[in-house]
Amino acid sequence: MENEVELPKCKYGAQCYRKNAEHLSQFYHPSDSEETYEERVVRSKRSHAELNQQGAGSQERGKEFSHIPEQKQSSNLNPSATEDSRFEEAEGEWEIDEYDGENAANCEYDEVAQEPSTSSYAHHNSSGRNQTPDAVVLLILVGVPGSGKSTFCSKLMSSGAQPWIRICQDIIANGKRGTKKQCLREAESALLRRRSVVIDRCNIDIKQRQDFLELAARLRVNCHAVVLNLPASLCIQRASHRVAHEGGLNAGNASQIINRVFRSRRLPSLSEGFFRITLCRTDADVEKATEEYRVLDHSKLLGAGLFGPVNKKEIRPLQLAGITAIDDSNSPPGTNKEELARTQSVVAAKQQILKDHLPRVGVIGTSQHMSSVDEQQEETNTLAFPSISTADFQFDHYKASTILVESVSEFLLKNPNAGLKLMLVDIGSKSHMLSLVKKKATELNVDSYRFTFFTGDITKIRSSGGPPCNVLANATNWRLKAGGGGVNAAIFKAAGPELEEATRKVATTLLPGSSIVVPLSPSSPLRKEEGVTHVIHVLGPNMNPQRPNCLADDYVEGCKILRNAYASLFENFASLFQTKPMVVDNCKRVDTGSTNQKPKLNAFQVLMQASKRKGEVGDISLKREKGEKVRVIEDSITCSGGDHTESGITQTHGQANLPSEMNSISRESMNGHGPKNLLSRENAEAKVHDIRAGGLQGRDKVERKWDKWTLALYKLALHPDESKLLQVTDAAVVLYDLYPKAKKHVLVLSRKQGLDALEDARQEHIALLEHMHSLGEKWAASFLKEDSSLVFRAGYHSVPSMKQLHLHVVSQDFDSACLKNKKHWNSFTTPFFRDSLDIIDELKTHGRVDNCGERAEKALQELELRCHRCRSIQPNMPRLKAHILACTQPLFNSTHLITVDSVNGV
């Protein structure tokens, strides 16, 4: 086959060519035989980064290519290889024979001149080290409906030299129209698998193309454009004749739409960051461009620049910094070396700019190794962790794998930042846990880019060819001692005495279900050699009678502890890279000497912590600048104390008899303000209301002005209108949600003034929250008598929309016309919805509720629409609602479901 090149030879022999896999594995990649897809991704990215480091511009890459004399044969190395494996082979890192650099010095451009569209990619740099070639392409088609994008793709897909992945927005959502986000996800996934991608959507203006260009820049993939700039009349004619178009365009509306789109089109320019743009004005141009990409395989590289016939109107926006289009109707691309060089240089600069503007996650505590390589190219932070409690602690593997995968999934949802990754590590190549977890992760559609697997020694991940992991989890013992065996012994040994010393400074013991972060000193071998900056000690439940604190087959408690262990571990990992405070409570701290006791802070630390806390929910001064509805009240003018009771109110339905202790609690804690007083108070609070934490004492309170519409529940709590309520007690009222998001949806509304949101809740509110929960449970039970198929969750929104703390009790069918948008859905099905029992537990354990604030609220819009049963992502609300009506998978999102069985004590 013409233009194909011979892959470089292995240094072990001229005839090697990977015929012997065992031999090749010695130098191809240390863990090639067991290397997972994700590991290949990371390695591939590393290689790209190295390539970039040595020559940012395409021009420099071109020079590197020139060192290799023309060679042939690449795809016939293994005739029996499948399509995929053939491409995987082609991207391997090879050591090659010595070459004659002088002879090859100008080879690249000469080759381009002889063969305009392609050139050899086989290359290596001055150090003799081979690089991964830029053979994978992100090709963006630009054209109005009817311009022939689908035909272009068909030809690529059916007979292309490489297996192209077509991303078509019209059918991406299970055959239906999807979103740009989905296209981006699919494209990223394909590119990471080293597959070239063609984007089959109009991409008609800069904004529509921008995200794809950024994706290409982030993944170090060259981004090409083919512009199907055919006359509008021709496009209309074609669109009018087609039937059953994927995008719904038909004869009736084609003309209008195409004309409109045609007017709004903006042709792509190199300044957007494209590596190569091919303009087509006629079918012949399209045919030629199609052929160029059809024959493109991993052994070829199309030259950079702008190609094709351009008219005067079009050329103006296409010019950039002196670059003129290369009209390949007369001369082949790449013949003008200066032009090409300038183009390549500008493209490289633009791509660098794009890359520089991508969001980054800071790498903390880098070692020398990391600063030289990882910090520059791996804008990620990875936690490598072993399966907790399944080895020496003998926890049931099936239960453990479920908890592990669910915990991972929750973490990924809670932390949408793609830079935070998790990697499960097991030393055995035939690990039972690993295979169980892989299977469950696949079933639950867990993001395989952010949750990966590694087989090998957790203390030697990077040095054995795995991805860089800057944080390690250590499944430790309660004494945090170095002894024993397994992962704990291995990590302490690999980290040296530095880890023991650093651990001693932080804590002396650890409770099951908790974790503690220990920074590694720069002198630790684990840091120096593997780039590990932190170890997080985590203690899971023990089911082994030979070990301390055995739970003796109490898997109810065991599962709870294991969930807590993972949650604590992941939370601490995330907190390393965020402003959120670390979870540190369930350990015996060396500075306090007592369990569950927070360390005493000096005045400066108190100030800093207060400042940090403020930052979590949005810094007040910043909010003031933005004109948001938050301000600090100078003194305790309003709401000091704030407790009340509405005397004379009785239970209207009588189903919920308050426990005696609750009645006493209500009377004691909610006295002091009669109705008259409340009315005047309400007027005052129409201006300013408190919400903040601090025990509702009126001091150092940050206060928020609530909009008028947010006060409906508040007013109802203060002045219960029995006609609107299901039940009234001294402490709470129950009512139907005015806009139910499911078949059954009630609110249990606290009547305690000043307690407006979870973040206000403290230990003294536990009894009230328990009372609210019991009311919710009772109402759920009464609904279950009517319809036993219902399943309920009782919980709070992390950030409420309405003033006055209220508990949602909502059936999990979500079959309601009032459930309309993404915020509705995500506020009930993501970790933004906090189970009532978890909140009570958290108050008992920590004295307050964490993870409430603007970040959680913001995530509602950023998160995908994911089915709460099968976790599949749905493209929009109508599709989601149709899906959840049909989905029969068991519920995923809670361990505290209220069902017929649970209310009957089964």
Partner DNA sequence: GTTCTAGAAC
Catalytic residue positions, numbered: 806
CB of 251 to DNA, least distance (A): 13
Helix (H) or strand (E) holding 631: strand 630-632
User: Which of 153, 190, 204, 539 is close enough to bind DNA by CB under 7 A?
Assistant: 204
Sheet holding 222-228, edge to edge: 165-168, 197-200, 137-142, 222-228, 276-280, 305-307
Interface region with DNA, contact rule CB under 7 A, candidates 51-59, 429-437, 440-448, 873-881 = 873-881
When asked if residue 644 is in the footprint of DNA (CB under 7 A), the reply is no
CB-nearer residue toward DNA: 245 or 614: 245
| Measured distance CA(220)–CA(132) in Å, rounded | 11
Please state whether 220 falls in left (phi above 0), alpha (psi between -120 and 50) or beta: left
Instruction: Count each helix (H run) and each strand (E run) in the chain, helices first.
Output: 33, 25
* Cα–Cα dist 906/900, whole Å: 8
What phi and psi values does residue 84 have, to the nearest 5 degrees? -65, -45
Between CA 77 and CA 668 the distance in angstroms is: 84
Using CA atoms, how far apart are residues 822 and 864, in angstroms rounded to an integer? 8
Tell me, residue by residue from 809 to 848, as one string, x for binding to DNA by CB under 7 A and - for no binding.
---------x-xxx-x--x---------------------
Rounded Cα distance, 525 and 496, in Å: 6
State which of positions 581-600 bind DNA (CB under 7 A). Answer: none
CB 457 to DNA: min, Å: 44
Q: What residue type is assigned to position 805 of the chain?
A: L
Write out the E strands in 456-610.
471-475, 507-510, 514-519, 534-539, 587-589
* Backbone φ and ψ of 562, nearest 5°: -65, -40
Q: Can you state the angle between helices 397-414 and 432-443, rounded to 10 degrees?
A: 50
Stretch that binds DNA, among 221-229, 673-681, 704-712, 886-894 (CB under 7 A): 704-712
Question: Phi and psi at residue 875, in whole multiples of 5°?
Answer: -75, -30
Q: How far is the CB of 828 from DNA (least distance, A)?
A: 8
Q: Looking at beta carbons only, is 720 or 795 nearer to DNA?
A: 795
Site for DNA in 106-165 (CB under 7 A): 145
CB of 339 to DNA, least distance (A): 32
Single out the residue of 103, 174, 256, 463 in contact with DNA (rule: CB under 7 A). 256
- Select the residue interacting with DNA from 19, 207, 493, 724 (CB under 7 A): 207
Min separation Cβ 756 and DNA, Å? 12
202 scored as a contact of DNA (CB under 7 A): yes
Task: Write out the two tokens for 398.
Answer: 């099936």
CB of 166 to DNA, least distance (A): 13
Binding segment for DNA (CB under 7 A), chosen from 188-196, 252-260, 459-467, 566-574, is: 252-260
Tell me phi and psi for residue 863, to 5 degrees.
Answer: -70, 155
Q: Per CB under 7 A, does 895 bind DNA?
A: no
Between 565 and 617, name the residue whose CB sits nearer to DNA: 617
Rounded Cα distance between 346 and 272, Å, is: 10
Residue among 741, 748, 802, 804 at smallest CA distance from 773: 748
Q: Is 539 left (phi over 0), alpha (psi -120 to 50) or beta?
A: beta
CB nearer to DNA: give 250 or 845: 250
Q: Name which position in 405, 561, 802, 898 contacts DNA (CB under 7 A).
A: 802
Q: Single out the residue of 268, 277, 279, 306 nearest to residue 147, CA to CA.
A: 279
The answer to whether the Cα torsion of 480, 485, 487, 492 is positive or negative is: positive
Out of 16, 171, 341, 877, the only residue in the binding site for DNA (CB under 7 A) is: 877
Contact residue for DNA among 117, 132, 169, 669 (CB under 7 A): 169
Structure-token pair, residue 132: 């991964």
Residues that bind DNA (rule: CB under 7 A) add up to a total of: 42
**From the CB of 281, what's the least distance to DNA, in Å?**
21
CB 252 → DNA: shortest distance, Å?
8
Looking at 208, 319, 640, 902, which residue binds DNA (CB under 7 A)?
208
Tell me which of 114, 371, 861, 895 binds DNA, using CB under 7 A. Answer: 861
In this complex, which beta carbon is closest to DNA, that of residue 442 or of residue 861? 861
Q: What is the dihedral of CA 620, 821, 856, 556, to 10 degrees?
A: 150
The span of 176-184, 303-311, 393-401, 656-664 binding DNA (CB under 7 A) equals 176-184
Binding residue for DNA, selected from 170, 378, 571, 842, defined by CB under 7 A: 170
CB nearer DNA, residue 41 or residue 742: 742
Name the residue with tokens 């590596």.
Answer: 275
Give the end-to-end CA distance of the chain in Å, rounded to a whole number: 71
By the 10 Å C-beta count (0-12 exposed, 13-18 middle, 19+ buried), 343 is classed as: buried
What ranges make up the beta strands (E) of 51-164? 137-142
Q: According to the binding rule CB under 7 A, does residue 707 interact with DNA?
A: yes
**Nearer to DNA by C-beta: 871 or 881?**
881
Nearest approach, Cβ of residue 356 and DNA (Å) = 23
Q: CA 399, CA 437: separation in Å to the nearest integer?
A: 10
Whose Cβ is closer to DNA: residue 550's or residue 877's?
A: 877
Answer for which of 344, 875, 883, 893 binds DNA (CB under 7 A) is 875
Q: Which stretch binds DNA (CB under 7 A): 100-108, 675-683, 877-885, 898-906?
A: 877-885
Nearer residue to DNA within complex by CB, 519 or 776: 776
- Give the strand pairing for 471-475 and 381-386: parallel
CB of 852 to DNA, least distance (A): 13
One residue of 23, 46, 129, 177 binding DNA per CB under 7 A: 177
Using alpha carbons, select from 539, 605, 611, 533 the residue that is nearest to residue 573: 533
Selected from 76, 106, 253, 680, the binder of DNA by CB under 7 A is 253
Q: Tell whether residue 801 is a contact of DNA (CB under 7 A).
A: yes
Residue in 163, 150, 278, 142 with CA at minimum distance from that of residue 205? 142
Which of 142, 493, 498, 483 has its CA nearest to residue 286?
A: 142
Q: How far apart are CB 169 and DNA at their closest, in Å?
A: 4
Helix (H, G, I), strand (E, B) or coil at 223: strand
Question: Residue 61 is encoded by which pair of tokens?
Answer: 């890459």
Stretch that binds DNA, among 52-60, 204-212, 288-296, 401-409 (CB under 7 A): 204-212
β-pairing, 420-426 vs 381-386, is: parallel
> Does 174 help bind DNA (rule: CB under 7 A)?
no
* Closer residue to DNA, CB minimum distance, 627 or 648: 627
> Phi/psi at 198 (nearest 5 deg)?
-115, 125
For position 709 contacting DNA by CB under 7 A, the verdict is: yes
Please count the CA atoms within 13 angstroms of the CA of 548 that sit on its side-chain side: 10
Residue closer to DNA by CB (options 24, 249) is 249
The footprint of DNA on residues 779-798 (CB under 7 A) is 797
Binding mask 86-115 for DNA (x = CB under 7 A): ------------------------------
Nearer to DNA, 144 or 280 (CB): 144
The residue among 129 and 631 lying less far from DNA, judged by its C-beta, is 631
| Chosen residue from 12, 26, 739, 904 binding DNA by CB under 7 A | 739
Stretch that binds DNA, among 362-370, 526-534, 599-607, 869-877 (CB under 7 A): 869-877
At residue 151, φ and ψ (nearest 5 deg) are -65, -45
Measuring CA to CA, which residue among 277, 270, 267, 269 is closest to residue 349? 270
Binding site for DNA (CB under 7 A): 145, 169-170, 177, 179-180, 201-205, 207-208, 247-249, 253, 256-257, 260-261, 707-709, 739, 797, 800-802, 818, 820-822, 824, 827, 861, 865, 875-879
